[in-house]
């Protein structure tokens, strides 16, 4: 059984004024590695969440221990992730295009939570010198099989960085971290002064999150905290970052992928080929896309 820890204060700003935000539906005894797949479609499955009255951070309480979470990620395989490489590639190409004015090709780039390497492959092809960290052994193997990328298999805390990077990307990573302050303390040590940090993460303060309530698609077992604008600003400012660009992230997926998220029994059916050729841009305005520069001391 996964070990849980009850919190009496906000893990972000340490304010003791916390309150129940939303009751959970997760049954810890039933959690498996498959529940942490990137392509998991059990939307609405959530931990019990509390919110901080001071900074607005929303966090699982009781929260799973990060070490236990890491074991699930290490054991998972996600064959479906790379099957949507074209749609994901469109998402990532847009990020690289917006990154270029802040960190041109030739810069060193570290992707944390690199999955099967779709983003890093595009970044390398665009001229960046890339490295990646991924805890799933199966996804690390996929990255080498599909793209010839040799990722570090493990977590950032154990990454043997031999240099400081000009760019670090956290694309749908922060919502998986139990202690963002400790995580950022390690991350900041890998980023060169004046370096760029790119973040994509769900916005708990978005209109979609408020309207959908417990049915919001970002509620899933793997997501154990959520930021709004003020809490994300607080974290970045605390660690010496200045936001240079803030926008809403838009998703690009094939019609097949989107349809099978809602109707999983259609996977592998005859419509797969034509629906995969139809690409849709989905702007729900419920995720942040942030570019922040590390201030030089």
DSSP secondary structure, the chain, as one string? ---EE--SS-TTT--S-EEEEE-----GGG--GGGG-TT---TT----EEEETTT--EEESSEE-HHHHHHHHHH---HHHHHTHHHHHHHHHHHHHHHTTTS-TTSEEEEES-TTSHHHHHHHHTT-EEEEEES-HHHHHHHHHHH----EES-GGG----S-EEEEEEES-GGG-S-HHHHHHHHHTTEEEEEEEEEEEEBTTSHHHHHHGGG-TT-STT--EEB-HHHHHHHHHHTTEEEEEEEE--EEEEHHHHHHHH-GGGTTSTTHHHHHT-EEEE--S-EEEEEEEEPP-
* Residue 193 falls in which region: left (phi positive, over 0), alpha (psi -120 to 50) or beta: beta
Does 73 have pLDDT greater than 70?
yes
pLDDT of residue 266: 64
* Phi, then psi, of 219 in degrees rounded to 5: -80, 110
Model confidence at 227, pLDDT cuts 50, 70, 90, reads very high
What is the pLDDT at residue 115?
Answer: 94
Give residue 79's pLDDT. 78
Q: Out of 28-32, 38-42, 199-203, pick the least confident.
A: 38-42
- Would you state the pLDDT for residue 259? 66
Q: What would the mean pLDDT of 16-21 be, rounded to a whole number? A: 98
> Which segment of 78-82, 115-119, 137-141, 259-263 scores lowest on mean pLDDT?
259-263
> How far is residue 220's CA from residue 42's CA, in Å, rounded to a whole number?
6
Structure confidence at residue 162 (pLDDT): 82
Name the pairing type of β-strands 129-134 and 108-112.
parallel
Mean pLDDT of the chain: 90
Strand partners, 50: 20, 59
Domains and CATH numbers, the chain: 4-294 (3.40.50.150)
Its pTM stands at: 0.91
Q: What percent of the chain has pLDDT over 90?
A: 68
Question: 198 and 174 in contact (C-beta within 8 Å)?
Answer: no
Look at residue 72 in the predicted model and tell me its pLDDT: 87
pLDDT one-digit tens code per residue, 236-275: 999 999 999 999 998 777 766 666 666 666 666 666 667 6
- Model pLDDT for residues 280-292, shown as the tens digit of each residue: 677 789 999 999 9
pLDDT score recorded for residue 264? 67
């Amino acid at each position: 059984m996964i070990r849980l820890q009850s919190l009496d204060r906000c893990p972000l700003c340490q304010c003791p004024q916390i309150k129940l935000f939303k009751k959970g539906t997760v049954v810890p005894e039933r959690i498996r590695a498959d529940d942490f797949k990137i392509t998991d479609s059990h939307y609405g499955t959530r931990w019990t969440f509390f919110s901080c009255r001071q900074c607005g951070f929303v966090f699982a309480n009781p929260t799973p221990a990060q070490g236990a979470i890491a074991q699930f990620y290490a054991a998972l395989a996600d064959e479906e992730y790379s099957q949507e490489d074209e749609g994901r590639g469109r998402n990532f190409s847009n990020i690289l295009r917006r990154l270029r004015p802040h960190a041109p090709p030739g810069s060193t780039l570290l992707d944390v939570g690199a999955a099967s390497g779709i983003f890093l492959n595009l970044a390398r092809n665009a001229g960046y010198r890339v490295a990646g960290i991924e805890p799933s052994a199966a996804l690390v193997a996929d990255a080498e099989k599909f793209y010839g990328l040799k990722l570090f298999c493990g977590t950032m805390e154990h990454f043997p960085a031999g240099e400081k990077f000009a760019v670090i990307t956290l694309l749908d990573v922060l919502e998986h971290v139990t202690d963002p302050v400790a995580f950022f303390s390690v991350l900041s040590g890998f980023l060169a002064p004046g370096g760029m940090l790119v973040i994509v993460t769900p916005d708990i303060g978005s209109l979609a999150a408020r309207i959908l309530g417990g049915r919001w698609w970002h509620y899933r077992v793997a997501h154990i905290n959520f930021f709004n604008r003020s809490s994300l600003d607080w974290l970045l400012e605390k660690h010496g970052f200045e936001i240079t660009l803030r926008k809403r992230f838009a998703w690009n997926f094939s019609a097949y992928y989107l349809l099978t998220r809602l109707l999983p029994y259609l996977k592998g059916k005859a419509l797969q080929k034509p629906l995969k050729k139809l690409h849709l841009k989905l702007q729900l305005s419920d995720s942040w896309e942030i570019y922040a520069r590390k201030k030089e001391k």
